[in-house]
Chains A and B, each alone.
Chain A
Amino acid sequence: MKGKGRAVCVGADIDTDLVIAGRYLRTKDRSTWVAHVFEDLDPSLAGRMNGAVIVAGKNFGCGSSREQAAIAIREAGVVAVVAPSFARIFFRNAINVGLPLIESDLTCREGTGVSFNLAEGWVEAGGKKSATRPLSPKMQEILASGGLVNYWRTHG
């Protein structure tokens, strides 16, 4: 899997309450989550998600198991999230909803182009290429199917 987008920088330890607040969870309407994504971190972020590669600090997605966090980010048009480390439930959720995650230490410059190739294991920003930690074969397969729902539609 490969892709590219514009860097949007966020900090370290971004918890899932900051990605999508608990008060927006009681619905199945995905546009609600998209409209309020990152609201408690920075309300202007929601408008800049389409075509973005989020570049975060360590431990992105810590906190609750709410899959709406991963869904909100993907449905808002985010191409991928890059961080030195992710919280493990968020990691599984993101792969399961077809949102590529890239484990890499990248210095973020707002608005610069970021491109990546997961099969080849690299991410590039501002002319500098870094190695990424590889995903397990099963995770790559789920991601390539567009998420776990599609994976089981074809394998089930």
Chain B
Amino acid sequence: MGTLSERILHGTAGEYVDRAVDRAYVHDGTGVLTLESWKSMGAKRIQDATHLHVLFDHIVPANNSTTATLQHELREFARSSFLHFSDIGGGICHQVMSEGVVLPGEVVVGADSHSCTLGAFGAFATGVGATDMAAIWMTGETWFRVPESIGIHLSGAFTGASEAKDLALTYVNRLGMDGATYRALEFTGEGTTAIPMDDRLTLCNLAVETGAKAGMFYADDITVQYLAQAGHTVQPQEPEPCRYIQSFDFDLMDIVPVIAVPPRVDTIKPVYDLAGLPLDQVFVGTCTNGRYADLARFARIVKGRKVAIRTIVVPASRAVLQEAIRTGVLDDIVEAGCTIGTPGCGPCLGAHMGVLGEGEVCLSTANRNFKNRMGVGGEIYLSSVATAAASALEGEISVPGGSR
């Protein structure tokens, strides 16, 4: 009997355990420092690369020669050491790992804070820093403090224009920016049966914005079917009676479209209250909302119309881009006047391809709106895809319609 974290980590909440890691990944940003720490530790070669991944997503293609040189070194290392390597254009690390790599019950560690995204599969997935990752490259294991868990109990189904992102921002608001520090979130209840995999990934993605170590769904029929399409046969996980340190209930019927107001993810307002606020840029993408379902939702709203302001759409991965090409979703988006970026993080971290100018305001489907994140002096409001689409058409924050 235990929480999903306790079952996967084989320990009791509060206990420190050393555990072998099933999947470990870095991106072009954290990988450079990981490689440096790994070398400084005196390591010479990778013993076992079967579970190690390097995925380029943060600044792709490289924006200047400094970045290019750093990426070159890491690329050469990944290839010569036989790490699984996904080069530029492959997509955001969390997304690529969600496309048939991570499986239920695994211990997954990523050198990126949003690694918690992969808890959507019933895996224990969490973020670490570069030096922790270097030690994992060396030993194949790391230490964890088995977290206490918070139950997020869901009932009902979304109505109107509300979507998983609105619930995500709502729960971050309810728990607060540090409400779940050192803890794991477990999403349970009959409401989960109405939430497809893409949306579960969105919900787990924002867990770290409450300080949580992990955000998790139990693997069920939806998980089993999703992974079957990727060629995996997996078993569902049965929830057992367990102890939550805290519990929250959300009826999905009550969730309304909301926006996180800069510079905090946990400060939200109904979209209605902000309607009319002028925007300079809309950005749709990231590991939060750059999946195929998101692009399709966006296209359904903008199809046959024109966006009123510069709108950047970045598919989360090559697979997402290909699916959007195949179904015509991409064409609808381009036709509406949007700009398409290389699959990856795009302007989310303010390094390139959509950086904001002084005093500019962006509505983004990402997960962070910290001060200056997308450019010095720029402001970031966070919303769902439907709100972003409605607002792009008007050039100002707009309430999304009933179409889903």
Which residues of B come within 8 Å of A, CB atoms?
A: 16, 29-30, 32-33, 36-37, 40-43, 59, 64, 66-67, 70, 111-113, 115, 127-132, 134-135, 138, 143, 145, 177-178, 181-182, 211, 213, 264, 349-351, 368, 370-373, 376
Is there contact, CB below 8 Å, between B113 and A40? no
Q: How many A-B residue pairs have CB under 8 A?
A: 122
Is there contact, CB below 8 Å, between A65 and B178? no
Q: Which residues of B contact A92 (CB under 8 A)?
A: 128-129, 132
Given contact pairs A13-B264, A149-B40, A26 touches B59 in the complex (Cβ within 8 A): yes
Q: Which residues of B contact A23 (CB under 8 A)?
A: 350-351, 376
Interchain CB contact (< 8 A) of A59 among B138, B145, B177: B177
Given contact pairs A65-B129, A87-B211, A17 touches B42 in the complex (Cβ within 8 A): no
Interchain CB contact (< 8 A) of A62 among B42, B211, B351: B211
Given contact pairs A21-B372, A28-B32, A67-B33, A87 touches B178 in the complex (Cβ within 8 A): yes
Return the CB mask of A83-120 against B: 1 if under 8 Å, else 0.
Answer: 00111110011001100000000000000000000000
Q: Which residues of A contact B349 (CB under 8 A)?
A: 22
Q: List 21 A-B contacts (CB under 8 A).
A: A13-B178, A15-B370, A17-B368, A26-B59, A26-B70, A26-B351, A28-B36, A40-B372, A59-B211, A62-B177, A65-B112, A67-B129, A96-B129, A138-B16, A148-B37, A148-B41, A148-B132, A149-B134, A152-B41, A152-B42, A156-B138
- State how many angstroms separate the Cβ of A98 from the closest Cβ of chain B: 10
Is there contact, CB below 8 Å, between A148 and B131? yes
Cα distance A156–B351 when bound, in Å? 36
Is there contact, CB below 8 Å, between B132 and A96? yes
Given contact pairs A27-B66, A70-B129, A89-B129, A18 touches B370 in the complex (Cβ within 8 A): yes
Is there contact, CB below 8 Å, between A88 and B129? no
Which 9 A/B pairs are nearest by Cβ-Cβ distance? A59-B178, A93-B129, A67-B129, A96-B131, A152-B41, A17-B370, A65-B113, A67-B130, A22-B349
- State how many angstroms separate the Cβ of A133 from the closest Cβ of chain B: 11
Is there contact, CB below 8 Å, between A88 and B130? no
- State how many angstroms separate the Cβ of B55 from the closest Cβ of chain A: 14
Is there contact, CB below 8 Å, between A152 and B16? no
- State how many angstroms separate the Cβ of B373 from the closest Cβ of chain A: 5
Q: Which residues of A contact B36 (CB under 8 A)?
A: 28
Interchain CB contact (< 8 A) of B181 among A59, A66, A67, A149: A59
